[in-house]
Amino acid sequence: MTNLTQEKIESILGTVIDVHTNQDLVSSDNVKNITIDDEIVNVELLLKYPALNYRAELQDSVEKAFSKAGISYSSVSIKSKIVSHTVQGGVEALPGVKNIIAVASGKGGVGKSTTAVNLALALHSEGAKVALLDADIYGPSQPRMLGVKELRPEGTENGNMKPVLAHGIQAMSIGFLVDEASPMVWRGPMVTQALEQLLKNTEWNDVDYMIVDLPPGTGDTQLTLSQRIPVSGAIIVTTPQDIALIDAKKGLGMFEKVNIPILGIIENMSIHICSNCGHSEEIFGHGGGQSMALDSETNFLGALPLQLDIRTDVDEGKPTVIKNPESETSLIYQEIARKTAAMLSLQSETVGAFPNITIE
C-alpha cells in the first residue's frame, strides 16, 4: 500500500472496537503515537485500564484491520496507564489510592465476598496494583479467603498500619486485629469509626484500584462509605432468583441516591453443572442479573457458575484466580475485571487543583 499517511492509519484504527469499552481506538483516545517507516506502520496504543490478558487479542484485531486495508507490515505496541477518576462530592482523596470500587449486595449469601476477592486478584493479574479492604466489621472473611488469617499488620513510626500482603495484593480487615472466633458486639457508631480507621490509618502503597468488600444491606457501613470515603464506582452482586434481585435493586438505588456511579452488575451462581454427569441446571433461576442491568440501564459485567471449586478454593485460602488461573472460571473473573476497569475508565478523570494565576 503506497502513500500511507497518519490520517489513513487513524481511519483504519477507527474501525477497531475495544470489546470492553465498546468504543473504537481513535474516539476513545487510545492512540498514543503513529509512525510510518517506508511501508512499515508502527502504532503505540495506550489503554486506560489494565489488560495484560487482552493485549494479544487487541493486537491481532489491529493487525487484521491493517492487513484488510493492504498494509503488510506493522508493529503494534500496547500499554496501559491508570489514572484517578472523580468521586462523590464533599470527600477528600485517600493518600496512596487512585480509585475505590465498592462491591455490594442487597442480601447475604450471594457470594459477594468470594466475588470481591477474585475480582481484586483478577485486576492484579491484568497488571494493576490492587488493594482489598474488608469492610464487614461483624463478619470479616477476607483474611481466611486470602489464606493469611494468622498474620497481623505491622505498625509504622507514626502510629499507622502497613497493609498485609497476600497473593500480590494489599489487604486490610478487622479480622487481622481480632481473634477469628471473637464476636464484634459493637453498636453502629463504633462500626463506622472502625471502618474509617482501617481505611485511613493504613498506609496504602500506590494502589490503582481498591476493592471494598461491603457487608450486605444498606446500613451504617454503606452510609459511611458514601459520605466519608471517596468512591469512584460500585458493583452490585446478585443471584438470579427474584428474592435476591429485590434486595439488589435496593442496594443499587442507594448508590444512585448518594451519587456513586454503578459500574455494573455481576450475576453469581448463575448455572450449576454437575461434576459427575455434566447436566446443567439453573437452580436459582435464569438471567435475573442481566434483566436487572437492562431495566436499570447499567452494565452487565458477567455471570459466574454455581461451582464447588469456587467455594473450596477460598476456604483453602487460595481463591480460584490464584489456584487455577487458566480455568474457565478464572477467565470469567478476568473478563469481569477488565470490563469493570474499562467502565471506570470512561468516567471523568480527577482534575488537579486549580493553578495559581499571577497577573503582572
Please work out, in degrees rounded to the nearest 5, the angle formed at the alpha carbon of residue 53 by the alpha carbons of 168 and 318: 35
Residue ranges of the domains in the chain? 6-80, 97-345
**DSSP-assigned beta bridge partners for residue 164:** 171
The CA-to-CA distance between both ends of the chain, in Å, stands at 55
Q: In whole numbers, what is the pLDDT of the chain averaged over residues?
A: 89
Residue indicated by cell numbers 435464569: 286
Residue indicated by cell numbers 469509626: 193
State the pLDDT at residue 2: 56
**Is-contact 193 325, C-beta < 8 A?**
no
Instruction: State pLDDT tens for residues 34-70.
Output: 999 887 899 999 999 999 999 999 999 999 999 999 8
Highest-scoring range by mean pLDDT, 108-122, 261-275, 278-292: 108-122
Q: Which among 212, 214, 182 has a CA at the least distance from the CA of 110?
A: 214
Instruction: State pLDDT tens for residues 175-209.
Output: 998 887 777 777 777 888 888 899 999 999 999 99
Residue indicated by cell numbers 439488589: 248
- CATH number listed for the domain at residues 97-345: 3.40.50.300
**DSSP-assigned beta bridge partners for residue 29:** none
Question: Per-residue pLDDT for 358 more than 90?
Answer: no
* Whole-angstrom distance, CA of residue 188 vs CA of residue 221: 8
118-128: average pLDDT: 98
DSSP string, 224-235: HHHHHS---EEE
Q: Supply 120's cell numbers.
A: 481484586
**Is-contact 249 242, C-beta < 8 A?**
no
**DSSP-assigned beta bridge partners for residue 235:** 103, 264
Find how far residue 323's CA is from the centre of its chain: 19
Domain range 6-80, CATH class: alpha beta
Question: Per-residue pLDDT for 85 more than 50?
Answer: yes
Mean pLDDT is lowest, of 163-172, 220-229, 312-321, for: 220-229
State the pLDDT at residue 286: 74
Q: 38: Cβ–Cβ under 8 A, 6 or more apart, which residues?
A: none
Q: Which among 311, 313, 307, 315 has a CA at the least distance from the CA of 143?
A: 315
Mean pLDDT is lowest, of 56-60, 99-103, 245-249, for: 245-249
Q: Supply 15's cell numbers.
A: 474501525
**DSSP-assigned beta bridge partners for residue 31:** 45
**DSSP-assigned beta bridge partners for residue 41:** 36, 74
Q: 162: Cβ–Cβ under 8 A, 6 or more apart, which residues?
A: 153, 154, 155, 156, 202, 203
How does strand 169-173 pair with strand 164-166? Answer: antiparallel
Question: Per-residue pLDDT for 359 more than 70?
Answer: no
Question: Residue 288 in 3-state DSSP?
Answer: helix
Q: Supply 226's cell numbers.
A: 458514601
**DSSP-assigned beta bridge partners for residue 18:** 23
